[in-house]
Amino acid sequence: MGAFPQTIHFIGSNTPRRAEITIRDLEVEGEIPAAIDGAFFRAVPDNAHAPLFDEDIALNADGMIARFNFVEGAVDFDIRWVETERFLAEKEARRRLFGQYRNPFTDDESVAGMDRTVSNTTPVWHAGRLFMTKEDGRAYEINPHTLATLGKWDYYGALRSETFTAHPRIDPQTGEMFFFGYEAGGLCSDDIAYCIADRDGNLTREQWFKQPYLSTIHDFVITEKYAIWPIFPTTADLERIQSGGAHWAHQQDLESWIAIMPRYGDVSEMKWIKGPVGVSCFHEVNGYDDGDLVHLDLCLSATNAFSFMREAGGIDIPQHEIGGGLVRWTLDMSKDAPEIEERPLGPPGDLPRLADADQGRPYNRAWYLSMNPEGGPPMPGGPVGVNFNCLLRIEPGNGRLTALGVPPGAAISEPVHVPSPDAQHGGWLMSVVDIPQGPDPANYVSEVWIVEADEVEKGPIAKVKTGLPLRSQVHGSWVSRERMDTSKAHA
């Protein structure tokens, strides 16, 4: 097999590891609370083969599904490829056949028309099924016990959308999953599909609407009353893609939008609200209703956080100079033409995490990752090419902020929240921390840190040691034993 390029997409914690692994009984330092019983699933892009193009990016890497399984204080680790149609075709050929990120015109002729999705972004649990998702295609179902790929999921043939977001939202009370797909009608279609699956996992609603321009819509928000799509000006262009260019280019001079409708309503009720020019956001934290007001908390940046999306738009701003912050956008829905009122909530950062029970409800705690400038030079790797080195806990209502630091040069990935059976206790967070082992950025060891969710500043109460350098995660999810036991797939 050929060599990997030495760009930010293939060094540090993006170094291709390519190994399916099973380890029983990882080394544990400290004591894992007995109430932590379940599985921490992680979506890990990795490269089964060297790319066709040197400009290949981490978002284009093959999906792997990893699991830390917590049983009575012991932890087992497994990681497997997601066996997508694309993965299996390349496995058979023993080489890469698919070209650039979201550009089918750069593929080997032998795979023309084949599904290109790599299922590398978020593990999603709903109604007894585990899915791996990527926003450019449908979800793949995974057996949560064996990590075997079971196939593409289309709700028993009912789903029309060709795409499925990596960020569905599950209502904690109704158990419904609200989700969407953009480019729902195929490559560069301006259709968005808005869907609801009930608590039993049946598709109960699918409606399509059009977006104002062809943007990447990575995440959305539900409240008890509304479904909300913030839309930011990073756009696709079919002619550019046909000539072998980038799928996405950020447009610094274009306005953003909010699309908002009653969550059980009809898309004809959609209201469109103009937002600030040139801004970007990949992840919203949460939203909730407050009388006629709707609050929407998001990780906002002044331009796109991905260098390749900025460069394609002719924007020359280095990574460390991108301004932004955690902000609250408030809309007064009693008005005919609501406007966005913005106020700051916290420092810049991304990869927010919420307790599942707070989804779409008034809330006063969230966690996200940020960059501590005193934490030494950041470890290269992760989707944008530079890792975060600190975890923040924020109380949006009063601005109270606490932080968990990591050793100098270490990286921290998105946490999961593990609820506690004790209603007085705020639960735990778990996060993979990569700790450098010398000057070579590919040389580090990965550990799972467990912290008290409401006392992150006290540091880890336990560390689970893999002894290995694991490839960067995108998103993760916690699935309790109780839920694992309701799985429709068997061990």
Which residues would be at the binding site for ligand V55 (CB under 6 A)? 45, 59, 120-121, 134-135, 218, 282, 383, 474
Q: Which CB sits closer to ligand V55, 46 or 452?
A: 46
- For residue 30, the SS3 value is strand
Contacts of 21 (CB under 8 A, 6+ apart): 77, 78, 79, 468
Q: Residue 310 CA to chain centroid, in angstroms?
A: 20
- Which tokens in the block code for residue 178? 């609200």
Helical (H) or strand (E) element with 197 = strand 191-197
Q: How far is the CB of 474 from ligand V55 (least distance, A)?
A: 4
Q: Considering beta carbons, is residue 477 or 480 the nearer one to ligand V55?
A: 477
- Min separation Cβ 192 and ligand V55, Å: 16
124/294 with CB nearer ligand V55: 124
Distance CA 125, CA 190 (A): 28
120 vs 431, which CB is nearer to ligand V55?
120
Looking at the Cβ atoms of 126 and 134, the one nearer to ligand V55 is: 134
**Cβ-based nearer residue to ligand V55, 297 or 350:** 350
As beta bridge partners, residue 71 has 74
* Min dist. Cβ of residue 45 to ligand V55 (A): 6
Task: Give the closest residue to 153 by CA, choosing from 177, 187, 188.
Answer: 177
Q: How far is the CB of 297 from ligand V55 (least distance, A)?
A: 18
> Smallest gap, in angstroms, from Cβ of residue 60 to ligand V55?
8
Shortest gap between Cβ of 131 and ligand V55 (angstroms)?
A: 15
Nearer to ligand V55, 57 or 484 (CB): 57
Distance between CA atoms of 177 and 169, rounded to whole angstroms? 6
Contact indicator for 448, 29 with CB cutoff of 8 Å: no
CB of 374 to ligand V55, least distance (A): 26
Closest CA to 309 of 101, 165, 473: 101
Query: Cα 140 to chain center, whole Å?
Result: 16
Torsion of CA 328, 225, 278, 368, to 10 degrees: 50
